[in-house]
Structure 1
Amino acid sequence: MAFRPIRSHHFPDRARSWERWERRRGRSRRRWPLWAPLGLVLAVLACGVPGVLLLVPGAAGRPAAGPPDDPAARRLAERMAVQLDRQAAALLAGDRPGFLAVAESAARPALTRRYAALRALRVTVWRPEVDGVPAKVDGRPGEWRLTVTVGYCFVVPDCTPSTVAIGTRWRIVGEEPRLVTVEESRAEPAGARPWEVSDLAVAVGKRTMVATTPALRAKLPGLLAQAEAAAEVADRYAVAGTPPDRYLVFYAGRTEWQRWYGGGRPKWTAGYAVGVGGGHHDVVLNAQTSTPTGTDDLLRHELTHAASLPDRGYSDRSTWWLVEGLAEHAGADGQRVARYDGLAEVRKLVHGGWNGRLDSLAPADDAADDRVGGAYGVSYLAVHHLVDRYGEQRVLDFFRAVVHERQSLDEAADQVFGDPWSGLHDDCVNYLRTVAGA
């Protein structure tokens, strides 16, 4: 029996990020993710979102704040920026010695790994920008700390860059600042990117790029083929008109699953997607729980989120059914409703006390598996019914009006469908009750 996606785990925008978790259900079938304890806010990282910044907590020692109007501190920041620019130029030119030349010897092993991973990912843009002025690090005489925000692109040279803030520590050698440490980005929920902490093997296709650890390199050809097929589907759901320039998928082994993007996912998690800026969403699959057949619809669902959601995200819990229903519709990829691998959970939810309101479907963080699975199934059936009645393009227009333009369901239904939402809502519910045999 095939895996089936059990969808999104959304985080509030405390880190201007969003994340989806996937959970397995029964033997080889996918499970449904639970909601974040802090509630639903899906805030997609993008350059279109003002002030995108993943804040990095201090590592050993806390920096003493330096006055921004201190001329000496500003000059030091400028010298550090020159070093970072040299390093960026070396990275883009494939000059590993030049990339390492700005660092002390103790920092070079970690930087060597980072360089190799970024080159494997075909980095095309690397733009470090200094945030403020350096500050002395308490307990570490002669060391300075500086936060650097980096805009980066992979494969595509003219993409809208993703953004990450990285803590750096420096020591002055003569007149020249030298890198002592480059810290992992630790902002929650995004956490450390795989290229910061792991050796990577990479396969690149026309629309996607798939990366994993060297130990799992043999999986790459099959994963790339599946991702390319999923991207063809997801591209059709680019609500704003332009699909992502490239979908990036990471396949995590046991250790990496606990470390990439902060780790700490529940044991039932099979995959998730997280916004990393510039309208990009990195997708992560759990090698311990994924199966070849289950990966297909998981990828279709996840990549559809990346294609359909607005850069600034959304925060209306009442429209959860529409966001997840559209992704489920894409994940089903035209299969007959009777073959949807979740009808049993739909029946249990419909017969088990659900109040019949689509705006109440969003599951609680401690919801049981069948309650979560039923919520996704009901969402799928509601969107499927709207597509049957009005066609896919008008449903995408409806989605754009509600999720992108933040119109009310009443306004959007009147504008796009020419019918009142109250009647359409009841029509959808009657349909899914019929499917469920209620």
Structure 2
Amino acid sequence: MAPDGRRRRRWPLWAALVVVVLVLACGLPAALLVSVLRDTDVETSATAAEPTENPTTLAAQQVAERISVQLNRQAAALLGGDRAGFLAIAEAGSARTELRRRYDSLRALRVKRWEASASGLPTETGQAGEWRLRVQFNYCFVVARCQTSPMVVDTRWRDGAEPRLLEIEKSKSSPYVIGAPSGQPGDLPWEVSELTSVVGKRTIVATTPAYRNRLPYLLARAEAAAKVADLYAVSGTPDRYRIFYAGKKEWETWYGGEQPEWGIGYAINVGGGHHEVVLGPDSLDYGPFMDQVLRHELAHAASMPDGYWEDWAWWLVEGVAEYAAVDGQPVARYLGLAETRQAVRGDWNGKLDDLIPTGDISGEEATGRYGIAYLAVRYFVDRFGEEQLLAFVKAVVHDLRPPAQIAEEVLGEPWSGLHDECVAYIRRAAG
């Protein structure tokens, strides 16, 4: 098919530029130059119009802005002790009931900072005017000038000039939350339980109303343990040690409730440099051993990193906590020495990085492995002192550098020799 002769030929841009150059070079009149340019009808790329915003995205942004205003009002009400204002953003019903319990527990924990912000854009639920939004909260207890702990929760809202909260979920275990490199544990005590607390110089101790009468005793024991734990701080002492005493129901629900049967306490990272300590329902039955449990768990809160640490460092993490727990007592008085002896004489392969217990082993086996970790750290303290031990912890646990890589740098000797000497010490000390 022959081309339509009526259609104007469009020259490429480079051809038009050649014409211009030739016209100028020949000294032709400017009028002719204009004529040439007009006749070439050069196609040039027009300035692109600014893209229009996606209407759905724009609507979501506007909803997020309105919800953020509500969240800011709620934060101010919480910090100002205004329960009615805190509840006002929710519609009457289950959401308001949920907020009421959270308000009471947060106030009991002496909340001093509370910041809320949208985490991403809301999405429509499929119901007219309803939106889902993930919200991040950052908070501090007792001390206002602290590094905040972060958490995210999913919420559901009805939009309007002043959006109303329809549902707020409990935090879920998550591998990563901004500000919490080791992940979010989920089911925090103040999300799922009514709490009451007492505050000391270095600790805050909380529990449910059913165990309120135990708080004075727990606070005294916690304050004494905190003085010991402060000595093992690696990256600065916590502003307050946060301790929660759990009844049977709480032990099975707080932070997911997945604890081994032989556990009586644990420390869990909640971000912002904070490790919260939970004492199990049977912990008070251990009498004087209760003090050791507290020193152990608070030493974790003081010495552990804000991020994750490698499993092969378990012996060092737990060994430091056990060393703090015995508080200078001689090895012969270590309460788990019999179980440690049994473990050393049993199937232990003599490797420090192969000690981490599983949840299905017996309490005696677990105690034996903790005892081996304790003796290992005792060896390093006896050889190099506590200051160098903590430098070693910083390199291995916080900086994730294998002992074989940094032993000479920190301790002045190669790891292979130190490991063998340490194992020999453990075997002698266990008897």
* Matched residue type, 1:335: Q
The equivalent residue for 2:6 is none
Q: Is the 8 A contact 1:270 1:290 kept in 2?
A: no
Q: Deviations over 1:297-339 (max 9, x none)?
A: 1111111111111222212x32221111111101111111001
Residues 403 and 68 of structure 1, relative CA distance in 2, 3 Å threshold = farther
Matching residue of 1:294: 289
C-alpha distance in structure 1 between counterparts of 2:395 and 2:226, whole Å:
24
Cα RMSD, aligned residues only:
1.8
The amino acid that maps onto 1:180 is L
Match for residue 393 of structure 1 among 380, 387, 390: 387
Q: What is the match of residue 318 of structure 2?
A: 324
* Count of matched residue positions in the alignment of Structure 1 and Structure 2: 367
Match of 1:213 in 2: 208
Counterpart of 2:419 (choices 402, 418, 425) is 425
Equivalent pair of 1:385/1:428 in contact (CA under 8 Å): yes
1:123 has 2:111 as partner: yes
Partner residue of 2:254 out of 238, 260, 263 = 260
SS of the residue 1:80 aligns to: helix
1:364, 1:111 → 2: CA distance?
Answer: 38
2:400 is the counterpart of 1:406: yes
Q: Which of 81, 84, 88 does residue 75 from structure 2 map onto?
A: 88
1:78 alignment counterpart:
65
User: Is 1:166–2:160 an aligned residue pair?
Assistant: no
Superimposed CA distance per residue, residues 261-298 of structure 1 (whole angstroms, 9 cap, x where no aligned partner): 22243444322221111011111112245324232111
Are 2:143 and 1:143 equivalent residues in the alignment? no
Residues 202 and 220 of structure 1 are in contact (CA less than 8 Å); yes or no, is this contact kept in structure 2?
yes
* Equivalent pair of 1:68/1:133 in contact (CA under 8 Å): no
Identity %: 56
Moved more, 324-333 or 339-348: 339-348
How do 1:53-68 residues align onto structure 2 when only pairs under 5 Å count?
none
- The Cα shift of 1:406 comes to 2.7
Q: Is the Cα–Cα contact under 8 Å of residues 68 and 132 in structure 1 kept in the other structure?
A: no
Q: Compared with structure 1, are the counterparts of its residues 72 and 141 closer, same or farther at alpha carbon in structure 2 (3 Å cutoff)? A: closer
**Greater displacement, 102-111 / 398-407:** 398-407
Instruction: List aligned pairs for 1:189-268, cutoff 5 A.
Output: 190-240=185-235, 242-268=236-262
User: Which residue of the partner structure matches residue 171 of structure 2?
Assistant: 185
SS at match of 1:191: coil
Summarize the Cα distance change of 1:323–1:288 in structure 2 as closer, same or farther, 3 Å threshold.
Answer: closer
TM-score, structure 2 normalization: 0.81
Structure 1 residues 93 and 69 mapped into 2: Cα distance closer, same or farther (>3 Å)? same
Q: 1:148 corresponds to which letter in structure 2?
A: V
- Encode CA deviations 1:78-126: one digit per residue, 9 max, x unaligned: 0000000000011111111111111111122221111111111111111
Letter in 2 for 1:278: G
* 1:407 to partner: Cα distance: 2.7
Q: Secondary structure at the match of 1:105?
A: coil
- Tell which has more relative contact order, 1 or 2 (C-alpha 8 A, sep 6+): 1
Q: Could you say if the C-alpha distance between residues 153 and 311 of structure 1 is closer, same or farther in structure 2, counting changes exceeding 3 Å? A: same
User: 2:55, 2:357 → 1: CA distance?
Assistant: 46
- Would you say 1:101 and 2:88 are equivalent positions? yes
**Deviation of 1:69 (Å):** 6.3
2-structure distance, mates of 1:288, 1:309: 25
Which of 293, 298, 303 aligns to 2:298? It is 303
Contact 1:77/1:133 (<8 A) preserved? yes
Q: In structure 1, what is the equivalent of residue 179 of structure 2?
A: none
CA deviation string 1:354-384 (max 9, x = no partner): 2212122222443343332221111101110
Secondary structure of 1:245 counterpart: coil
> 1:45 corresponds to which residue?
none
CA distance in 2 between counterparts of 1:384 and 1:269 reads 23
Using the alignment, how far apart are the partners of 2:187 and 2:97 within structure 1?
17
Residues 68, 74 of structure 1: 8 Å contact kept: no
- Higher mean Cα deviation, 424-433 or 264-273? 264-273
Show the 5 A alignment for 1:269-418: 269-291=263-285, 292-315=287-310, 317-418=311-412
User: In the TM superposition, what is the alpha-carbon distance from 1:146 to its structure 2 partner?
Assistant: 0.8
The one-letter amino acid of 1:334's match is G
AA of the residue aligned to 1:175: A
Matching residue of 2:14: none
Taking a change above 3 Å as real, the CA distance of residues 247 and 177 of structure 1, as seen in their structure-2 partners, is same
Using the TM superposition, give the Cα deviation of residue 434 of structure 1 relative to its aligned residue in structure 2, in angstroms: 1.2
Describe the SS at the equivalent of 2:389.
helix
CA separation in 2, counterparts of 1:99 and 1:362?
45
Query: Which AA in structure 1 matches 2:59?
Result: A
Task: Find the residue that maps to 2:186 and give its secondary structure.
Answer: coil
Question: Are 1:164 and 1:185, in contact at CA under 8 Å, matched by a contact in 2?
Answer: yes
Larger Rg: 2
Q: Which runs of 5+ in 1 are unaligned?
A: 1-66
Q: Which amino acid aligns with 2:289?
A: G
Deviation above 4 Å: which 4+ runs of structure 1?
Answer: none
Say which SS state the counterpart of residue 185 (structure 2) adopts. Answer: coil
Partners of 2:407 and 2:161 in 1: CA distance: 65
